[in-house]
Amino acid sequence: MATFTEIQVALDDNADYAEVGSVVKAKAYQTALKRLLHSPQEAVHGGRGQGESTKYDMEQIKSLLDDVEQWIGGNDTSSTTGARVKYASFREYRT
């Protein structure tokens, strides 16, 4: 399981997926958002009394996730442009 810091790094590294037109970055951003959704809503970093607390809005994360999923749906051509397999049939073959 990814740590909060790893999730933050993944979000920061891939937030520009639309600007650079990268489906790979968009999918990494999507994965980080999903991990964030499965994390506690508040994270505390650092030691006792010295740490800082980070709290985030689940609705905003869901909205970002919806946005990236729509972007991927409109830009990911990997599953639609692949070679189609055709099978030979001898059903109509006559000698």
Q: How confident is the model at residue 2 (pLDDT cuts 50, 70, 90)?
A: confident
Q: How far apart are CA 41 and CA 62, in angstroms?
A: 13
Amino acid letter, residue 38:
H
Residues 6+ away with beta carbon under 8 Å from 53: 42, 43, 44, 45
Mean pLDDT of 60-72: 95
Q: What is the mean pLDDT of the chain?
A: 82
Q: What is the pLDDT of residue 26?
A: 97
Cα–Cα distance list, 54 to 1, 8, 17, 39 (Å): 19, 11, 24, 12
Per-residue pLDDT tens digits for 21-60:
999 999 999 999 999 998 876 666 665 666 666 777 899 9
Q: What is the pLDDT of residue 38?
A: 87
pTM of the model: 0.70
Could you tell me if 36 and 11 are in contact, meaning their C-beta atoms sit under 8 angstroms apart?
yes
